[in-house]
Amino acid sequence: MRWRAALVRLGVVAAAVGVAGAAMCCPFCSAVKQTFCEEIAANDVAVLAKLVVRPERPAGNVSPLDAAPAANMSQFEVVEALRGEEVLSGEKRIRALYFGDQPLGTVFLLMGLAGDTISWSTPVVMSERSQAYLHEALQLPPAGADRLVFFQDYLQDAEEMIAGDAYDEFAKAPFADLKTLAPHMHRERIVDWTKNPQVTPSKRRLFLTMLSVCGRPDDADFLQAMIESKDREAHKALDALIAAYLTLKGADGLPLIDDLFLKNQDAEYTDTWAAIMAVRFHGQEEKIIPRSRLTESLRYMLDRPKLADTVVNDLARWEDWTVMDRLVELFKKPDEDLTFIRVPVVNYLRVCPLPKAKEYLAELAKIDPKSVKQAETFFPQLKPADPNAAQRPTEAKPGTSGKSAQAGPNSARGAAPAAGAANGAVAVAAKPAGGKSSAARPTAAIVGPHVLADSAAEAPSRWQLAGILATASVGLWVVFTLLLGGGRRAAT
């Protein structure tokens, strides 16, 4: 049963590892592919070319894929060189593999790497609209609000390829750029997009993040209605939904989140995790709610022992030493389902500057020397926090505005904030989760001098090795797909 539960979680774990450490303007969403501009920059040559000759298809039921590569070579006439004109050396006709059925005269985007010959990627069909979009995109500054202003108008474009590219541009931009875009955001349009039930969770996360930057206080009302809704569809992108609500509502919004997701013993695990991520975002990226109030919310998770490990890292990172006795009690519990909290507790005590922490460490080393040894072996760089900061948790300045006062990298879903990633490699391990969901739950561990990240809390085990293998498989599949198919925009 444990193995079956682990396999259910491995897919989510692999995804979490893949997005860890990315600094994106949407703290709760991630780009899934390269943008047009990135792909063109990564190649030696890029051209717009029209299809002029297509080989005859094999007779009968033979698939074009079963034929020799030369039999599928189509000829294209270069219309415009977007990059690497010197690589073409005046060549106007190029040959590339193409399996689609677009009519002759159709314009495609082809990108290639130079060598003895140019290795061309899979041709991508380009409508007149997408050609115009690409031309403008290539002329934009490399970063900043002026760049995002352009892509904002295409986030819900009728052409899926354009809309996807605009989304990826936003997802990869620094969070600071998003905030500088605030005066130019189309608030009413963003509100409509957020309410649209057909919007994907990824895009809704972006729209909610944008709304948190440009929204008005009264926008918190419809966000609250979505949070309180019993319709699971309304809870798509719940992490970003809660974060946006708290940005507009401030500390006054926390009692609702506490009652629904953190105090509530019957809350779905996925909902609880979303609330934790939203609180973590505000503690790390914003200065709207004092950290002392945020830690008050996270402490409720200690009353749900099977989920307590999800907040140990935050409590230590924010130097909340008031829970030391409670964490030691959890360590001492004989329940096998709670053993995964032991390494995070040890690391919490290692960074705590209070003298009592050392006494507890000596005591716990006698109870479970293996966990203490694992913490010291896999996190050797930990040092106590500033003793002068003890009993003085770092405070964020309260604010009443919906505007964020601090820019910074994102905390991706289930992944560590970039501050933690800067202190060492971050890994995520699947653990049997308590609560009512079989979703993957990253364990908590401390990385760096009292800076924490979600990472493996134990020595590599069969769970972690399975996760590593799953992640490697996903990575290899992605590479293989890109090599054969030219990425996501294969021609049809």
Asked whether residue 135 is domain-assigned, the answer is no
Asked whether residue 49 is domain-assigned, the answer is yes
Placement of tokens 């013993």 in the chain: 265
Asked whether residue 259 is domain-assigned, the answer is no
Residue type, 273: W
> Burial, 403: exposed, middle or buried (Cβ in 10 Å; 0-12, 13-18, 19+)?
middle
Alpha-carbon distances, residue 247 vs 33, 218, 399 (angstroms): 29, 12, 9
Task: Determine how many CB atoms are found less than 10 A away from the CB of residue 369.
Answer: 10
Asked whether residue 100 is domain-assigned, the answer is yes
The dihedral built from the CA positions of residue 81, 85, 91 and 97, taken in this order, carries a sign that is negative
In angstroms, rounded to a whole number, what is the distance separating the alpha carbons of residues 371 and 342? 6
Q: Which residues contact 247 (CB under 8 A, 6 or more apart)?
A: 212, 215, 282, 286, 288, 402, 404
pLDDT of residue 336: 83
pLDDT of residue 100: 86
Asked whether residue 75 is domain-assigned, the answer is yes
Q: Are 350 and 378 in contact (CB under 8 A)?
A: no
Residues forming a β-bridge with 53:
75
Phi and psi at 111, nearest 5°, equal -125, 145
Asked whether residue 101 is domain-assigned, the answer is yes
Domain that holds residue 97: 44-120
Q: Are 211 and 177 in contact (CB under 8 A)?
A: no
pLDDT of residue 297: 97
In angstroms, rounded to a whole number, what is the distance separating the alpha carbons of residues 257 and 260? 5
Helices (H), 173-308: 175-180, 187-195, 201-214, 219-228, 238-249, 254-257, 269-285, 291-299
State the greatest distance between any 2 C-alpha atoms of the chain, in Å, as a whole number: 82
pLDDT of residue 57: 67
Q: What is the dihedral of CA 347, 352, 353, 359, to 10 degrees?
A: -70
Residues forming a β-bridge with 119:
113
Asked whether residue 128 is domain-assigned, the answer is no
Helices (H), 267-368: 269-285, 291-299, 309-317, 324-332, 342-351, 355-367
Alpha-carbon distances, residue 299 vs 276, 292, 327, 449 (angstroms): 11, 11, 11, 22
CATH number at residue 64: 2.40.50
Q: Are 241 and 233 in contact (CB under 8 A)?
A: no
Closest listed residue to residue 187, CA positions, set 215, 218, 150: 215
In angstroms, rounded to a whole number, what is the distance separating the alpha carbons of residues 172 and 305? 36
Q: What is the pLDDT along the chain (492 residues), one digit of tens a residue?
A: 333 333 333 333 333 333 333 344 567 877 778 999 999 999 999 999 999 998 876 665 655 555 555 667 899 999 999 999 999 988 899 999 998 889 999 999 999 999 888 999 999 999 999 999 999 999 999 988 999 999 999 999 999 999 999 999 999 888 888 889 999 999 999 999 999 999 999 999 999 999 999 999 999 999 999 999 998 888 989 999 999 999 999 999 999 999 999 999 999 999 999 999 999 999 988 889 999 999 999 999 999 999 999 999 999 999 999 999 999 999 999 888 888 899 999 999 999 999 999 999 999 999 999 999 999 999 888 888 776 654 444 444 433 333 333 333 333 333 333 333 332 222 333 333 333 333 444 444 443 333 333 333 333 333 333 444 444 444 544 444 444 444 445 444
Count of the separate structural domains present in the chain: 1
Residues forming a β-bridge with 415:
none
In angstroms, rounded to a whole number, what is the distance separating the alpha carbons of residues 205 and 180? 19
